[in-house]
Structure 1
Amino acid sequence: MAGPHPSVAATRVAVRRCLADVPSGSTVVVACSGGPDSLALVAATVHEARAGGWRVVGATVDHGMQDGSEAQTARVVEQMAEIGVDETLAARVTVDPGGLGPEAAARRARYAVLEQVAEHTAASVVLLGH
């Protein structure tokens, strides 16, 4: 039987290395936008959590900047659950550019939510695809 595709194997190895010092039983938050990179990160983390004994929380942030973002957020939550995370969390934020520009302001809002999620879940680490 052949092993996983090389890109899947490489992602799993990267996650394993990132979590090498995280004690078994710890919570790991994975940020997921619903794009292929972040879904791959969720899948690799769920896979590695089986051996590492970690609890995986998938978190997504709806920036409310595009039509249909609420439905997209619901799809991401479903996808993370199907992949096998232990818990899903979704948050909607209001993005205030405040002189930063929309992308930087969205990133700032997203990171603030992820800090809150990490605190709420007592996570040891938050993984980001980009």
Structure 2
Amino acid sequence: MKNLLSAVFIVSLLLISCSKKETPGFAAEQEVRMQYDTAAVDSFSSGATSIDIVRQIRMSSQNYQDSIKQAAKLQKEEQKLKEELEKENKKKLEDEKKKADTEKKQKSSEIPSATGTKSE
């Protein structure tokens, strides 16, 4: 009986000592996420950048992208205007050529009639 009682005592000590222990404060604690004023993981590293500077960089890059889009738009408008001017110039040249051709035809048709009247 002494052996049985001592064996139960030793087994119970082993079960108690080997069981999972939870601290009372562990369940109450939650993961706390701290918000820092730097963008780098380590705020004391040499590459750490302030949130304000990161915001300025993003804003300036957005402004840069906007200016590129605006410049491309202006360039397209200028190209359209140049094409329209070229078309107008071509039309004017064609009109002038047509007028010159009609004048030549009129002059050439007047010349034989003028020579015909002189000879008669």
TM-score by length of structure 1 reads: 0.17
Specify the structure having the higher radius of gyration (Cα): 2
The answer to which structure has the higher helix fraction is: 2
The answer to which structure has the higher strand fraction is: 1
Higher RCO structure (Cα 8 Å, ≥6 apart): 1
